[in-house]
Amino acid sequence: MKKRLLARIPILLLWLLCIHSALIAQTKVVTGKVTDSKDGSPLQGVTVLPKGGTSGVATGKDGSFKIVVGENTGTLVFSFVGFANREIPVGSGSVQVALTAIGSSLNGG
């Protein structure tokens, strides 16, 4: 009985390895650049999150980003202080996003 159990361990390990590989393959990488819609300048520090997710990335100095998302992720949410949030559908290839500044005036007194 013990010999039979020991003989099945390599099969079980192989099966677990296959399952693990399948789970890893269910992600995709999305890259892109975020700019200001007014002048096209890159925006650094924009938060990029999968819609409904809690783990994201921030854009670099040149406005670029790279994020790994689940295969079922359909939308990315872009947010930045002073700019309106944008939701962009996730497709294949690179994503180009232009954010629009929120007009506000602060009056003292």
**pLDDT at residue number 49:** 96
Superfamily of domain 27-99: Carboxypeptidase-like, regulatory domain (2.60.40.1120)
Mean pLDDT of 98-105: 83
The model's pLDDT over 3-19, given as tens digits with 9 standing for 90+, comes to 666 667 767 667 666 66
User: Look-up: residue for tokens 């096209």?
Assistant: 40
Q: Give SS3 for 15.
A: helix
Pair 46, 109: CB distance under 8 Å: no
- Per-residue CA distances from 76 to 13, 14, 23 (Å): 36, 36, 21
- Locate the domains of the chain by residue range: 27-99
